[in-house]
Amino acid sequence: MTGNPSLSPWDELPVRDELRGKSPYGAPQLDVPVRLNTNENPYPLPDALVERIVERVREAARNLNRYPDRDAVELRTELAKYLTKTGKYAVGLQNVWAANGSNEVIQQLLQTFGGPGRTAIGFEPSYSMHGLISRGTGTGWISGPRNEDFTIDRAASERAIAENKPDVVFITTPNNPTGNAVPAETVLALYEAAQAAKPSMVVVDEAYIEFSHGESLLPLLEGRPNLVVSRTMSKAFGAAGLRLGYLAAHPAVVDAVQLVRLPYHLSAVAQATALAALEHTDTLLKYVEQLKTERDRLVLELRAIGFDVTESDANFVQFGRFDGENGSHEAWQKILDRGVLVRDNGVPGWLRVSAGTPAENDAFLDAVRELKKEQSA
Binding site for ligand PLP (CB under 6 A): 39, 101-103, 127, 172, 176, 205, 207, 232, 234, 240, 245
Taking the complex as a whole, how short is the minimal distance between the CB of residue 36 and ligand PLP, in angstroms?
Answer: 13
Q: How far is the CB of 245 from ligand PLP (least distance, A)?
A: 4
CB of 189 to ligand PLP, least distance (A): 21
Is 179 strand, coil or helix?
coil
From the CB of 163, what's the least distance to ligand PLP, in Å? 25
Going by their DSSP bridges, the two strands 119-123 and 308-309 should be labelled as unpaired
Smaller CB separation from ligand PLP, 301 or 345: 345
> Are β-strands 140-144 and 119-123 bridged in parallel, bridged antiparallel, or unpaired?
parallel
What backbone torsions phi and psi does residue 192 show, to the nearest 5 degrees? Answer: -60, -45
Judged by beta carbon, residue 266 or residue 371, the one nearer ligand PLP is 266
Any bridge partners for residue 205, and if so which?
Answer: 172, 230
Residue nearest to ligand PLP (CB): 101
Peptide bond into 68 cis (omega under 30): no
Phi/psi for 23 (5° steps) reads -100, 145
Nearer to ligand PLP, 126 or 365 (CB): 126
State the nearest-atom distance from the C-beta of 318 to ligand PLP, in Å: 13
Q: Based on CB atoms, which residue is closest to ligand PLP, 32 or 240?
A: 240
CA angle 348, 175, 243 (to 5 degrees): 110
Q: State the minimum distance, in angstroms, from the CB of residue 338 to ligand PLP.
A: 24
Q: Which residues pair with 343 in a beta bridge?
A: 352
Nearer to ligand PLP (CB atom), residue 39 or residue 137: 39
* Cα 143 from chain centroid (whole Å): 17
Q: Which is nearer to ligand PLP, 106 or 336 (CB)?
A: 106
Q: Which is nearer to ligand PLP, 102 or 200 (CB)?
A: 102
Query: Rounded to an integer, what distance in angstroms lies between the CA atom of residue 247 and that of residue 131?
Result: 19
Helices and strands counted in the chain (H then E): 12, 12
Q: Are 144 and 124 in contact (CB under 8 A)?
A: yes
Question: What are the E-state strand segments in the chain?
Answer: 34-35, 96-99, 119-123, 140-144, 168-172, 201-205, 227-232, 245-249, 308-309, 316-320, 340-341, 350-354
Query: What is the nearest approach in angstroms of ligand PLP to the Cβ of residue 130?
Result: 8
- Is residue 320 helix, strand or coil? strand
CB of 172 to ligand PLP, least distance (A): 5
Which residue, 127 or 211, has its beta carbon nearer to ligand PLP?
Answer: 127
